[in-house]
């Protein structure tokens, strides 16, 4: 059996802990704005986000 080079569950827990610390004491509105800013700052995520928003608008009555 091939030995894993990383532990997915440990990585998930570590990232969740980082997010908890990052958002601690922030309102829901502040948290959403932080996420939007992070998405806008990443070219790949920003492109995906814009495409998703266009798709939602196109499917709305």
Model pLDDT for residues 16-42, shown as the tens digit of each residue: 999 999 999 999 999 999 999 999 999
Structure-token pair, residue 43: 């070219």
> pLDDT tens digits, residue range 36-61?
999 999 999 999 999 998 998 888 77
What does the pLDDT read at residue 59?
87
Q: What are the residue boundaries of the structural domains of the chain, listed by start?
A: 27-61
* Tokens at 57, concatenated: 């608008």
pLDDT band at 6 (very low <50, low <70, confident <90, very high): confident
């Amino acid at each position: 059996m091939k030995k894993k080079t990383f532990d997915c569950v440990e990585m998930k827990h570590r990232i969740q802990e980082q997010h908890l610390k990052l958002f601690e004491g922030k309102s829901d509105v502040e948290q959403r704005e932080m996420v939007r800013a992070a998405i806008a700052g990443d070219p790949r995520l920003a492109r995906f986000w814009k495409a998703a928003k266009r798709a939602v608008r196109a499917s709305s009555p």
